[in-house]
Structure 1
Amino acid sequence: MAPSLHSRPFLLLFVLLSLSILCMRSLDASEPYLTLDYYASSCPSVLEIVRKEMECAVLSDPRNAAFILRLHFHDCFVQGCDGSVLLDDTITLQGEKKASININSLDGFRLIDRIKNKLESECPGIVSCADILTVAARDAVILVGGPYWDVPLGRKDSTTANYDLATANLPAANEDLLSIISKFLYQGLSVTDVVALSGAHTIGMARCENFRARIYGDFKGTSGNNPVSNTYLSNLKSICPATGGGEDNTAGMDYVTPNYFDNSFYHLLLKGEGLLNSDQELYSSLFGIQTKGLVKKYAEDSLAFFQQFSDSMVKLGNITNADSFSTGEVRKNCRFVNT
């Protein structure tokens, strides 16, 4: 679909040749670090506290669900799910928040702070920020109509962050399919996980800066010349002008049900109306034979999508950094390492 794919066919060979190496980077979920009953005796109310705070936040503003889910994803793709994305910059530490891919796309930090403060009052020094974020992401999905999954716990908070890895590891809005797949494979996630986790874009908004190239590029080519798609495209162009600013203007990635977790995102891809290039690539890329089939499957069967999304979220949440278990801590404040 995209010219970039035609100009980089070597990526296919790269992915195929790298599969065996990338898949050797196994998820640390196989190691006995995380358990469902980790806080059963030390902080038995942890799940209830997180749930109540998330209920209040999502009831107040449904966008909070998307904020927390995105925050969790951006955390896990850099050093594993270790809360590193929550760290503020200090004189001695450069955080990940100001990395180009994060600086204008992340929110929800104050909500995590609020949950942490509640837990510090109830169970001081017990529950890690990394665990809070992982549980909150699960609850966020449930609260906007999505599926439930069990969350293994016991993560430690990293005492480091990695600004450079945030840019290198996280998929970008205008990235091509093979590059996105390679980033997921590096994390131990499969092509199926790519398509299922992309379904998180059924909630949340995207900034004009991230979809401008798409709507002034191949949107017409993928959506065809039908009145509904043309009206949608005209509306997007009014939100996001070709020139002259508007970078912070936003549009729903699923304009049909932007605040409800369902499978309508995949229906938009079938119609060629994916807002982000990285999303539409799942269905329209020349190399997307497997991903195209999965998009069709999840569009036709919402239960199949929900089941796979749950499984893929467990895999995502179980990406751990072995170093965090030996040198990590339970932060008192999610924004700073303990002194």
Structure 2
Amino acid sequence: MGSSTLQLQLVLLATSLLLLGSTSAQLSVDYYSKTCPKAEEIVQNEMKQILSIAPSLAGPLLRMHFHDCFVRGCDGSVLLDTTPGNKAEKDGRPNLTLRGFGSVERIKAKLEKACPNTVSCADVLALIARDSVLLSKGPTWPVWLGRKDGIISIANETKQLPPPTSNLTQLIQMFAVKGLDIKDLVVLSGAHTIGTAHCSGINDRLYNFTGKNNLNDVDPFLDTNYIAKLRSKCSPTDTTTLIEMDPGSYKTFDTSYYKYVAKIRSAFHSDWALLTDKFTRDYVLKHANGFESEFFQDFAESMIKMGNIGVLTGSQGEIRKKCSIVNY
């Protein structure tokens, strides 16, 4: 570990102490030091194998943690399967494009073999998110552990997830409800530097932006040359094709996402919306020109903060044996 990396870790450790609220007082960075001392090592080794075979999964696995935390807090509820009497979060419309559930179960099975009934699925998601970034050449940060798994998952509650069509006012409000501020918003949007998006998430910008349903009805805040490029990949009814959210660099965690936003070549309307406020616009324009180490530290701090949303601890929740089903 280089001196700069160690320094960043120490800064983040001190910062994360301040970010942790009373609701998560029982979380700690060494939570499994006695009960499952190799937990983080097991997760990272599995992630190395998974991403060596499918590097494009880094983005989706990071996204899964975000989608988990924004609905009922970081409690692993996004992983639960639908049952005959209940439609679960993973089948809510915003989550139909989530990928990587098999990888989560693979890692959980390894942990169960090493330390039965010990490591929660919610903690697995938090560790996977960190390692997705780290193994994509991004920053690392201390993950506070000790979350318990929730037993409730309701598809309709996924309305709390910010849609890609959101304007900045909507985004700010949806983040604020979760205890995240405008800086967290612009920083966490930087996660779009890795991963892909489905054509279905951007086709309104290309073919039917205002509901006129004709080829000229495009998002006026999207570069015309980029529109042509996207149209060459996405037909109006395409729901399966994936496009790179950070073309040419979507497997590497860096600041190039902000370059695309600055050039109005971002995939989602919600990305472009970052240019409509002075604070977020200034952040985008600054990091479009580099300042990677600052962005890395900001991102790590916001991820620690996000991972603290609505956590269950102590006697709350349970430790699921399998992430897709509750224990009873």
Unmatched runs of 5 consecutive residues or more in structure 2: 1-18, 210-216
Match of 2:262 in 1: 270
CA contact under 8 A between 1:205 and 1:252: conserved in structure 2? yes
Match of 1:199 in 2: 190
Query: What amino acid does structure 2 have at the position aligned with 1:290?
Result: F
Match of 2:40 in 1: 47
CA contact under 8 A between 2:168 and 2:270: conserved in structure 1? yes
Aligned match of 2:56 in 51, 63, 86?
A: 63
Aligned match of 1:250 in 211, 233, 242?
A: 242
CA contact under 8 A between 1:125 and 1:330: conserved in structure 2? yes
CA contact under 8 A between 1:128 and 1:155: conserved in structure 2? yes
The SS at the match of 1:239 is coil
CA contact under 8 A between 2:65 and 2:125: conserved in structure 1? yes
Aligned match of 2:292 in 284, 302, 305?
A: 302
Aligned match of 1:212 in 192, 203, 223?
A: 203
Unmatched runs of 5 consecutive residues or more in structure 1: 1-25
Aligned match of 2:231 in 216, 232, 237?
A: 237
* Structural mapping, 1:135-146, within 5 Å: 135-146=127-138
The SS at the match of 1:206 is strand
For the pair 1:222 / 2:221, whether they are aligned, the reply is yes
CA contact under 8 A between 2:256 and 2:288: conserved in structure 1? yes
Match of 1:166 in 2: 158
User: What is the distance in 1 between the residues matched to 2:305 and 2:230?
Assistant: 34
CA contact under 8 A between 1:54 and 1:136: conserved in structure 2? yes
Query: What amino acid does structure 2 have at the position aligned with 1:208?
Result: C
TM-score normalised by length of structure 2: 0.87
**How many corresponding residue pairs?**
301
Query: What amino acid does structure 2 have at the position aligned with 1:274?
Result: S
Displacement of 1:92 in angstroms is 4.2
Identical pairs, percent: 42
CA contact under 8 A between 1:219 and 1:273: conserved in structure 2? no
User: What is the distance in 1 between the residues matched to 2:23 and 2:78?
Assistant: 24
TM-score normalised by length of structure 1: 0.85
User: What is the distance in 2 between the residues matched to 1:27 and 1:178?
Assistant: 26
RMSD of aligned alpha carbons:
1.8
Deviation string, structure 1 residues 134-183 (Cα, Å, up to 9, x no partner): 0011001011111010000000000111322212x101011111101101
* Structural mapping, 1:276-291, within 5 Å: 276-283=268-275, 285=276, 288-291=277-280
Displacement of 1:333 in angstroms is 0.7
User: What is the distance in 1 between the residues matched to 2:311 and 2:154?
Assistant: 13
For the pair 1:313 / 2:303, whether they are aligned, the reply is yes
CA contact under 8 A between 1:215 and 1:275: conserved in structure 2? no
Deviation string, structure 1 residues 262-301 (Cα, Å, up to 9, x no partner): 1000001111111110111101x2xx12111111222231
CA contact under 8 A between 1:270 and 1:295: conserved in structure 2? yes
Aligned match of 2:281 in 283, 292, 304?
A: 292
